[in-house]
Amino acid sequence: MDLLQIRNIQDEAARVQKIYEVFHEDSRLNRSKAARVEFLTTVRVIEEYVKPGDKILDVGAGAGEYSLYFARKGYRVSALELADSNIRAFRAKLKAEDDLDLVQGNALDLSRYEKASFDAVLLFGPLYHLSDTEDQLRCIAEAKRVCKPGGKLFFTFISNDFVILTEFMNRSDYFTSGDYDKKSFRLEDFPFVFHTVDACRELLRRGGIQVLREVATDGASELLEEKINALDEAGFEQYLRYHFYICEKPELLGMSNHLLFVGEG
């Protein structure tokens, strides 16, 4: 099935299933130095708020990159993922000694988890796909419900304003014929759902989340992929230091494919 056919699938969960038969999550965060920037930045922020032994829920866990990282560092990890293909990719990475709970399910219903049972909840994916605002709020409410008082919630979004440049890099006619409103620069929400920085803030405010941190997790690393991948280790270390230096500057926040918000319920 191609993306044109997938676009016409009305049921959101069924659409997500098909999207991840086209987009492969397996190596998205680890296939290159440039691809690693998002992961390294996200983990660096999360680790400021949690300690080994804490309970983490990874909702929309994909191929398990975050779940496996934290489980192998001694955190107690539960992972929930919707798409068959990503569950398969996740299971393929599991080693006999990995101790984590992986289930297939939907972020809209976390009733299998008890209220106030996790120190941290990661919502790294469902908000890339839920197109209805009420569903987005329900998903945030579920994450809040299972998070302990004082626990931390981590939300990621795809940045509307930067993806325009990423698309331009892939298609030289994107500015004239791309799928976005030519006046407001609002992207069509397919195959992902896109948010401006202000829209993220407004959604989290409506969801009763107090935002503590806002981070541009990958910045321009996809646009600069070739250059970054050609760096030697010392160059890459220094690129990362530069990225960490700029990634929370408010004036640069939207200039990133992915945005991370840290909050409390």
Binding site for ligand SAM (CB under 6 A): 16, 20, 25, 28-29, 60-62, 65, 81-83, 86, 106-108, 124-126, 128-129
Q: Are 195 and 260 in contact (CB under 8 A)?
A: no
Nearer to ligand SAM, 59 or 255 (CB): 59
- Least distance from C-beta 73 to ligand SAM, angstroms? 17
Backbone φ and ψ for 119, nearest 5 degrees, come out as -75, -30
Q: Which residues contact 134 (CB under 8 A, 6 or more apart)?
A: none
Nearer to ligand SAM, 125 or 151 (CB): 125
Nearer to ligand SAM, 14 or 230 (CB): 14
| C-alpha closest to that of 119 among 203, 166, 174, 55 | 55
Nearer to ligand SAM, 188 or 238 (CB): 188
- Least distance from C-beta 234 to ligand SAM, angstroms? 27
Nearer to ligand SAM, 47 or 238 (CB): 47
Write down the H helix ranges in 101-183: 133-146, 160-170, 174-177
- Least distance from C-beta 53 to ligand SAM, angstroms? 22
Q: Would you tell me the crossing angle of helices 12-22 and 84-93 to the nearest 10 degrees?
A: 50
Q: What share of the chain is helix, strand, coil (3-state, %, to 5)?
A: 40, 20, 40
- Least distance from C-beta 192 to ligand SAM, angstroms? 8
- Least distance from C-beta 158 to ligand SAM, angstroms? 8
C-alpha R_g of the chain: 18
Q: Are 204 and 155 in contact (CB under 8 A)?
A: yes
Nearer to ligand SAM, 93 or 182 (CB): 93
- Least distance from C-beta 106 to ligand SAM, angstroms? 4
Q: How many CB atoms lie within 10 A of CB 37?
A: 28
